[in-house]
């Protein structure tokens, strides 16, 4: 703990100027008269030849930097800003071109495409509405309700027709939007195609109007041409009612109705021919009948009107079209197909024009971006060369210097006035200052080395003397510490003995007190045990008395059983006598009736007595049974009481022996307690004396420790000084070696 340990001093990092100043300070302290060599006069030597270790270094020329307006004299920040501005101009141009393209697409192309898509959807909705019209309105009586009393034929409207014309109006608005876009205005082909779609849609609307008109003209039910034809058919049937008794005529009229209905559903001409054939037969039937000529002429006229109306209905159906490829229906579907085809062609034309426009714009932007990238790359190469060449020259000189044998007489060539030119100038100034420092350091290293050797020798001698002193003090401290340790251990042992004695005395007193209490408790237990013995004897006497009482009670119950048997016999005899009396009273007749009543009452009383005796007998038997159980219990209890009395007597004898032993233990414990108290007092006196001796020994050891610490600190101080001087000497030698590697003249 107190032995000196050598500490290794770390070499501080210092420069040449600080070493020279430290050497001058040492000279003043030791009052040496040696003079520091003067630094040689600095000469600005510039060599045109490369050094031996740096053959790649260029010769240094002192040429002018040139005009400040030339590009190479621009500041690096200015050059970078110019390059950034060029890139920014290119980016702005690209952004503007992209914005123009996006604006054109947003304001022109997208509305055009949306209108075209919406137009396609409108055409599909018109087609769906037209089909709904043919499926719903052509067979809807509500559609024809306004035609019954309408002399001037006008088209009726339905939700389907209203929706169709509303969709047509929306389509025309979409045409106006598309024709108003710049793309359509610039391209006549697109404009012509849009007008072509519009014309086809107008044709589709025209055929729908024709379908609407002819469908309403055709009618349904009681309206239109169908209504007129149906009315004429019904009039003919009414006219021929006169032939109601003729089964053949009625059958032919039924065939006419069936064929007429089938035609309305199928529009097949064969049903019309069937009707004409039937009416030919009917006409012959009417002509050959005996009806008046006025009837025949009226029938013939009505028949002609019906056939004419039917033929007009057939012609109208042919005009409308029976299938989706015939008549107006076929023309309307053809117009719709032309709309869809021209709309698809318009979509393709839109796609070609828009994609061509986008492709052209993207190509132009790509060309411009490529040109700008080439310009930026060329400009970046030029700037990098302008910046990197001076830096390379600087790196060559720095590498030469960093390798430790640099030529400090060389300077960088300054050609520009920008940051790199300023950096070269500042670097030349820095090299000049380093050369001055190296010259001063080299002149101070020799003196520093001599001084450090002398100081190191003196410190070694002083350190040896103090080390011997430290060893002797350490031996003395160890002895004192050993003595103090022994005394402390003795003190601890005596204190432990004193504590044990005190604890033994305390425990002995406690045990003595406990034994006294146990003795008193045992005496009280013995007294209580005597009371228990007396109580058990009383219980024994009581149980014996109880057993006698139960025996007496058992005998009494047996006597009661005998008495009950006698009563039962008397009751049976009385019942028998009452029966005999009743028999005799019955023999006596009317005179013995009262006696018979008495005999009956006596018999009942005998029966009651017998029943009561039987119940008493049962109760007495149960009592006897209970008395027997109680008697057995009392016998068992007497046995237990006798055994308890015996055990209590034995326990009382054991308590007497325990009392005698506890009394003896109590006397011995009192003797032990007194001895332990005396031992504790003696141990306390010994512990106090040993404590005083330990304090004295500890004080001496502390003083010796302080002396050892002082010597230790002195040894450590001299060792640190010696280590520092040794390191300083080593540093001086290293510094001398390193400075000799630089060329300064």
Instruction: Please write down the HEC assignment for all residues of 82-142.
Output: HHHHHHHHHHHHHHHHHHHHHHHHHHHHHHHHHHHHHHHHHHHHHHHHHHHHHHHHHHCHH
Buried b (16+ CB within 10 A) or exposed e, 616-633: bbeebeebbeebeebeee
d(CA 728, CA 611) in angstroms, rounded, equals 144
In the predicted model, what is the mean pLDDT of residues 474-498?
69
432 and 350 within one domain: no
3-class secondary-structure state, position 683: helix
436 and 348 within one domain: no
Closest CA to 559 of 609, 626, 620: 620
Q: Which residue has the tokens 């800003």?
A: 81
d(CA 602, CA 577) in angstroms, rounded, equals 9
Tokens standing for 334? 């053809």
Q: Which of 315, 338, 354 is the last residue before a domain boundary?
A: 354
Query: Which pLDDT does position 26 carry in this prediction?
Result: 45
Of 52-56, 175-179, 305-309, 545-549, the least confident = 52-56
Which range, 308-317, 376-385, 581-590, 651-660, is most confident?
308-317
162 burial type by CB count under 10 A (0-12 exposed, 13-18 middle, 19+ buried): exposed
438 and 337 within one domain: no
**Does 521 fall in a domain?**
yes
Of residues 36 and 78, which shows the higher confidence score? 78
CA Rg value for the chain: 74
**Does 319 fall in a domain?**
yes
666 and 526 within one domain: yes
Query: Which pLDDT does position 30 carry in this prediction?
Result: 41
Of 130-139, 187-196, 449-458, the least confident = 449-458
pLDDT band at 44 (very low <50, low <70, confident <90, very high): very low
440 and 347 within one domain: no
**Does 92 fall in a domain?**
no
Closest CA to 148 of 235, 223, 228, 217: 223
Cβ–Cβ under 8 Å, residues 321 and 240: no
Cβ–Cβ under 8 Å, residues 129 and 167: yes
d(CA 249, CA 240) in angstroms, rounded, equals 8
Length of the chain: 745
591 and 509 within one domain: yes
Closest CA to 424 of 406, 404, 402, 397: 397
Query: Is the C-alpha dihedral spanning 302, 304, 308, 313 positive or negative?
Result: positive
Which range, 76-90, 398-412, 484-498, is most confident?
76-90
pLDDT at 109 over 70: no
Buried b (16+ CB within 10 A) or exposed e, 297-326: eebeebbebbbebbeebeebbeebbeeeee
**Does 365 fall in a domain?**
no
Which range, 98-112, 322-336, 459-473, 497-511, is most confident?
322-336
87 burial type by CB count under 10 A (0-12 exposed, 13-18 middle, 19+ buried): middle
In the predicted model, what is the mean pLDDT of residues 600-627?
78
In the predicted model, what is the mean pLDDT of residues 55-80?
54
Whether this model's pTM surpasses 0.85: no
707 and 620 within one domain: yes
- Compute the mean pLDDT over every residue in the chain, rounded to the nearest whole number: 74
In the predicted model, what is the mean pLDDT of residues 292-314?
90
707 and 565 within one domain: yes
| Bridge partners for 407 per DSSP | 743
Query: Which pLDDT does position 169 carry in this prediction?
Result: 92
Domain of residue 591, residue span: 424-739
d(CA 220, CA 136) in angstroms, rounded, equals 12
Of residues 512 and 602, which shows the higher confidence score? 602
Query: Which pLDDT does position 22 carry in this prediction?
Result: 46
Query: Which pLDDT does position 537 carry in this prediction?
Result: 75
pLDDT band at 711 (very low <50, low <70, confident <90, very high): low
d(CA 695, CA 692) in angstroms, rounded, equals 5
Give Dmax (Cα) for the chain: 195
**Does 278 fall in a domain?**
yes
d(CA 709, CA 687) in angstroms, rounded, equals 32
pLDDT at 483 over 70: no
**Does 20 fall in a domain?**
no
450 and 343 within one domain: no
Query: Which pLDDT does position 15 carry in this prediction?
Result: 45
449 and 344 within one domain: no
Query: Which pLDDT does position 734 carry in this prediction?
Result: 78
Query: Which pLDDT does position 113 carry in this prediction?
Result: 78
Query: Which pLDDT does position 46 carry in this prediction?
Result: 40
pLDDT digits (tens, 9 = 90+) for 523-574: 777 777 777 777 777 777 777 777 777 778 777 777 777 777 787 778 778 8
In the predicted model, what is the mean pLDDT of residues 449-474?
69
348 and 429 within one domain: no
Q: Which of 301, 326, 354 is the last residue before a domain boundary?
A: 354
Cβ–Cβ under 8 Å, residues 602 and 577: yes
pLDDT digits (tens, 9 = 90+) for 18-28: 444 544 554 44
Of residues 596 and 251, which shows the higher confidence score? 251
Phi, psi angle pair for 566, to nearest 5°: -65, -45
**Does 27 fall in a domain?**
no
What is the total count of domains within the chain?
Answer: 2
Q: Which of 293, 325, 354 is the last residue before a domain boundary?
A: 354
Output helix, strand, coil percentages for the chain, rounded to the nearest 5: 85, 0, 15
Query: Which pLDDT does position 72 carry in this prediction?
Result: 60
Query: Which pLDDT does position 52 carry in this prediction?
Result: 39
Q: Which residue has the tokens 């020279």?
A: 20
In Å, what is the CA distance from 347 to each residue of 104, 350, 546? Answer: 18, 5, 131
In Å, what is the CA distance from 43 to each residue of 39, 436, 738, 743, 745? Answer: 12, 10, 21, 13, 8
pLDDT at 41 over 50: no
- Cβ atoms within 10 Å of 223's Cβ, excluding its own: 22
d(CA 397, CA 50) in angstroms, rounded, equals 11
**Which CATH number fits the domain that encloses residue 219?**
1.20.58
Query: Which pLDDT does position 738 carry in this prediction?
Result: 67
pLDDT at 427 over 50: yes
258 and 148 within one domain: yes
Q: What is the 3-state secondary structure (H, E, C) of 659-673?
A: HHHHHHHHHHHHHHH
Query: Which pLDDT does position 473 carry in this prediction?
Result: 64
Query: Which pLDDT does position 185 carry in this prediction?
Result: 83
d(CA 199, CA 205) in angstroms, rounded, equals 10
Which range, 1-15, 111-125, 607-621, is most confident?
111-125
**Does 708 fall in a domain?**
yes
221 Cβ contact partners less than 8 Å away, ≥ 6 residues apart:
141, 144, 227, 230
């Amino acid at each position: 703990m107190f032995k000196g340990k050598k500490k290794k001093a770390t070499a501080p990092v210092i420069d040449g100027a600080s070493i020279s100043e430290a050497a001058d300070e040492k000279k003043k302290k030791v009052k040496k008269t040696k003079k520091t060599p003067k630094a040689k006069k600095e000469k600005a030597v510039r060599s045109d030849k490369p050094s031996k270790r740096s053959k790649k270094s260029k010769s240094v020329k002192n040429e002018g930097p040139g005009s400040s307006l030339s590009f190479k004299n621009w500041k690096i920040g200015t050059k970078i800003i110019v390059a950034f501005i060029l890139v920014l101009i290119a980016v702005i141009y690209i952004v503007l071109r992209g914005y123009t393209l996006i604006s054109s697409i947003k304001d022109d192309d997208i509305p055009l495409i949306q209108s075209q898509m919406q137009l396609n959807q409108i055409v599909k909705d018109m087609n769906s509405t037209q089909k709904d019209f043919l499926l719903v309105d052509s067979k809807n009586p509500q559609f024809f309700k306004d035609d019954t009393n309408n002399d001037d034929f006008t088209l009726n409207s339905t939700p389907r027709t209203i929706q169709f014309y509303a969709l047509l109006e929306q389509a025309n608005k979409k045409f106006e939007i598309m024709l108003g876009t710049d793309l359509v205005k610039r391209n006549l082909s697109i404009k012509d195609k849009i007008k072509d779609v519009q014309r086809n849609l107008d044709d589709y609307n025209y055929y729908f109007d024709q379908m609407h008109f002819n469908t309403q003209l055709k009618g349904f039910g009681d309206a239109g041409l169908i209504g007129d034809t149906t009315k004429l058919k019904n009039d003919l049937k009414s006219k021929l009612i006169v032939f109601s008794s003729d089964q053949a005529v009625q059958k032919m009229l039924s065939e006419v109705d069936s064929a007429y209905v089938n035609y309305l559903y199928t529009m097949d001409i064969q049903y019309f021919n069937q009707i004409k054939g039937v009416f030919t037969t009917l006409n012959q039937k009417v002509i050959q009948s005996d009806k008046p000529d006025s009837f025949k002429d009226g029938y013939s006229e009505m028949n002609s009107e019906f056939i004419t109306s039917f033929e007009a209905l057939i012609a109208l159906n042919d005009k409308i079209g029976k299938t989706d490829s015939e008549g107006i229906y076929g023309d309307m579907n053809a117009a719709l197909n032309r709309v869809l085809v021209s709309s698809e062609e318009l979509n393709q034309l839109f796609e070609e024009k828009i994609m061509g426009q986008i492709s052209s714009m993207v190509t132009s932007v790509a060309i411009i971006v490529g040109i700008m990238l080439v310009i930026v790359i060329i400009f970046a190469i030029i700037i990098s060369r302008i910046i990197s060449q001076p830096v390379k020259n600087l790196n060559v000189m720095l590498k030469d210097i960093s390798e430790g044998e640099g030529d400090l007489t060389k300077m960088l060539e300054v050609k520009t006035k920008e940051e790199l030119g300023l950096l070269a100038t500042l670097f030349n100034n820095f090299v000049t200052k380093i050369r001055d420092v190296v010259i001063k350091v080299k002149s101070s290293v020799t003196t520093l080395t001599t001084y450090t050797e002398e100081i190191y020798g003196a410190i070694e001698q002083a350190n040896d003397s103090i080390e011997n002193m430290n060893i002797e003090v350490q031996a003395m401290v160890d002895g004192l510490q050993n003595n103090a340790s022994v005394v402390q251990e003795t003190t601890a042992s005596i204190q432990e003995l004193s504590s044990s004695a005190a604890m033994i005395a305390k425990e002995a007193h406690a045990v003595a007190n406990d034994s006294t209490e146990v003795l008193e408790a045992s005496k009280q237990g013995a007294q209580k045990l005597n009371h228990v013995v007396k109580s058990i004897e009383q219980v024994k006497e009581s149980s014996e008395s109880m057993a006698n009482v139960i025996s007496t009670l058992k005998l009494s119950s047996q006597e009661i059983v005998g008495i009950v048997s006698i009563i039962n016999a008397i009751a049976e005899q009385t019942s028998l006598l009452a029966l005999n009396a009743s028999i005799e009273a019955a023999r006596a007749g009317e005179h013995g009736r009262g006696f018979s009543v008495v005999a009956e009452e006596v018999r009942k009383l005998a029966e009651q007595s017998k029943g009561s005796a039987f119940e008493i007998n049962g109760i007495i038997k149960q009592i006897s049974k209970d008395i027997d159980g109680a008697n057995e219990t009392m016998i068992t209890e007497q046995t237990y009481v006798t055994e308890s009395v015996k055990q209590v007597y034995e326990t009382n004898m054991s308590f007497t022996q325990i009392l005698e032993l506890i009394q003896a233990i109590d006397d011995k414990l009192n003797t032990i307690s007194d001895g332990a108290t005396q031992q504790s007092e003696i141990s306390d006196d010994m512990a106090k004396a040993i404590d005083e001796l330990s304090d004295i020994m500890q004080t001496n050891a502390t003083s010796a420790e302080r002396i050892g610490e002082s010597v230790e600190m002195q040894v450590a101080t001299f060792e640190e000084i010696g280590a520092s001087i040794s390191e300083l000497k080593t540093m001086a030698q290293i510094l001398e070696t390193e400075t000799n590697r630089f060329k300064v003249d």
